[in-house]
């Protein structure tokens, strides 16, 4: 992890084009979002296709606080994260309490995102409705000023910010080693986990809340970077799906899965969009969808599972049993 972070820090000093920097920012953004999504949906196996709800809550909270009270987005994102946690509790508690699993949980998550979506449109006096909201531009005067307002004229500072977010996200996930094991056990068999002394609801709710908090903070970053949000882009199904996709393609329930997925998918989509998007709108997403379906069919556990599959094949060929105890998922 440290080496990877170092490499990415070195990348910062490379003379890259604006487009390349943009791709890097987006990639890290989705790596971070996927890491947040992964905590609840990958490790605990509760597939949410409505995580955009929490992104939107985070984004709108910090944006509203900034435009009405000039509150720095740094505090705004904490506030947004907390509101997202509250929203998550409203849905997570009854979901886990009533034992909503499998497709039922997924449908509930989609419904929550839809509700947030419609409420954002309905509250047009505050949120601008489906026309969306722009981030009030503050002219860059001093570095301190830019930092406080989390607004920069170039892409480079955003790169550093999202690199930091992503690192913290990975670190948080990594530090939760015990919880990760519990969540995996709960995913595999809830009753068996409970019988072994694992509190199912407590661990699920912890995972759900941290997950919501993380993607809500990502929402604030989205606002600051794109300077414009609307309900369709930030509470819509596509964003929810994208968070899930980077994690699933990379390998959900593994520490680096979402990051691997993001580094593979996002540059690919963006380059496809650049080269094909102008001539034939939709072609890049069409190819993206096909890639996804093929990946799910042939590599359902994601790219992170490849080494394991290769090792298993090798072990079968060699006929040598490995007696080494597993060192856990890392």
Partner 1 sequence: MAEKILAIENICKSFGGLLATNDVSFNVNKGEILGIIGPNGAGKSTVFNLITGFYPIDSGSITYKDQRIDGLTPDKICHLGITRTFQVAKPFPGLTIADNILVACLPKAAKVSDARAKVDEVLKIVSLDKKADVLGADLTTLERKRLELGKALATNPEILLLDEVMTGLKPKEMDDMMDLIRELKKTKTIVIVEHVMRVIMNISDRIIVLDHGQKIAEGLPKEIAENNAVIEAYLGRGAKKDA
Partner 2 sequence: MLLQIIASGLLLGGIYALVSVGLNLIFGVIKIVNLAHGDFLMMAMYGTFFLYTVQGINPYVSTLIIFPAFVLIGVLIFRLIIKPLLGKAETEVNTIIATAGLGFVLQNLALMLWKSDFRAIETNLTGKSYEFAGIMLSAGRTWAFVVCVAVAVLLYYILMKTKVGTHVRAVSQDTEAATLMGINVNKIYTLTFAFGIALVGLAGVILTPTFYVYPTVGLYFNTMAFIIVVLGGLGSFTGALIGGLIIGLIESFAGVMASAELAQVFSLLIFLIILFVRPQGIMGKSARV
Provide, rounded to whole angstroms, the least separation between the CB of residue 181 and partner 1. Answer: 5
Cα distance between residue 75 and residue 83, in whole Å: 12
Residues between 228 and 257 with contacts to partner 2, criterion CB under 8 A: 237, 241, 244-245, 248
Q: Per rule CB under 8 A, is residue 281 in the interface with partner 2? A: yes
107 binds, among partner 1, partner 2, none (CB under 5 to 8 A by kind): partner 2
Interface residue with partner 2 among 11, 64, 114, 273 (CB under 8 A) is 114
Shorter beta-carbon distance to partner 1: residue 139 or 327: 327
**Pairing of the two strands 133-134 and 228-229:** antiparallel
String of DSSP letters for 224-256: HHHSEE-HHHHSSHHHHHHHHHHHHHH-TTSSS
Torsion angles phi and psi, residue 222, rounded to 5:
-55, -50
Q: Per rule CB under 8 A, is residue 35 in the interface with partner 2? A: no
306 binds, among partner 2, partner 1, none (CB under 5 to 8 A by kind): none
String of DSSP letters for 200-226: HHHHHHHHHHHHHHHHHHHHHHHHHHH
In the complex, the residues that contact partner 1 under the rule CB under 8 A are 177-178, 181-182, 184-185, 187-189, 191-200, 321-326, 328
Shorter beta-carbon distance to partner 2: residue 163 or 185: 185
Shorter beta-carbon distance to partner 1: residue 280 or 325: 325
Q: Which residues contact 211 (CB under 8 A, 6 or more apart)?
A: 36, 37, 38, 39, 40, 41, 51, 54, 88
Query: What is the gyration radius of the CA atoms in the chain, in angstroms?
Result: 20
What track of x and - describes contact with partner 2 for positions 165 through 204 (by CB under 8 A)? ----------------------------------------
Q: Is 30 exposed, middle or buried (0-12, 13-18, 19+ CB in 10 A)?
A: buried
Q: Which residues contact 71 (CB under 8 A, 6 or more apart)?
A: 62, 65, 79
- Here the tokens at position 97 are 């309490």
26 binds, among partner 2, partner 1, none (CB under 5 to 8 A by kind): none
Binding site for partner 2 (CB under 8 A): 45, 47, 49, 91, 94-95, 98-104, 106-108, 110-112, 114-115, 118-119, 121-122, 237, 241, 244-245, 248, 280-283, 285-286, 288-290, 292-293, 296-297, 300-301
């Amino acid at each position: 992890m440290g080496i990877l972070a170092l490499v990415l820090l070195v990348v910062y000093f490379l003379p890259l084009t604006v487009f390349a920097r943009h791709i890097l920012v987006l990639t890290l953004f989705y790596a971070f979002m996927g890491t947040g999504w992964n905590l609840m949906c990958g490790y605990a196996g509760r597939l949410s296709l409505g995580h955009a709800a929490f992104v939107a809550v985070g984004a709108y909270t910090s944006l509203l606080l900034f435009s009405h009270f000039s509150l720095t987005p740094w505090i705004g994102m904490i506030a947004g994260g907390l509101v997202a946690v509250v929203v998550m509790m409203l849905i997570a508690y009854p979901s886990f309490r009533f034992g909503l699993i499998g497709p039922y949980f997924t449908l509930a998550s989609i419904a929550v995102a839809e509700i947030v979506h419609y409420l954002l449109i309905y509250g047009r006096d505050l949120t601008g409705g489906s026309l969306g909201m722009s981030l009030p531009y503050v002219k860059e005067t001093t570095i301190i000023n830019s930092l406080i307002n989390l607004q920069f004229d170039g892409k480079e500072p955003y790169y550093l910010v999202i690199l930091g977010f992503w690192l913290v996200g990975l670190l948080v996930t990594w530090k939760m080693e015990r919880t990760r094991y519990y969540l995996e056990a709960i995913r595999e068999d809830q009753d068996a986990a409970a019988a072994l002394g694992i509190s199912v609801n407590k661990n699920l709710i912890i995972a759900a809340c941290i997950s919501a908090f993380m993607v809500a903070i990502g929402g604030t970053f989205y606002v600051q970077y794109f300077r414009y949000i609307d309900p369709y882009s930030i509470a819509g199904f596509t964003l929810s799906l994208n968070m899930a996709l980077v994690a699933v393609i990379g390998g959900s329930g593994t520490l680096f899965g979402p990051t691997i997925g993001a580094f593979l998918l996002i540059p690919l989509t963006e380059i496809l969009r650049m080269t094909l998007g102008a001539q034939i709108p939709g072609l890049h997403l069409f190819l993206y969808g096909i890639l996804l379906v093929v990946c799910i069919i042939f590599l359902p556990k994601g790219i992170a599972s490849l080494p394991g599959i290769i090792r298993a094949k090798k072990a079968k060929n060699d006929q040598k049993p490995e007696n080494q105890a597993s060192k856990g998922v890392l």
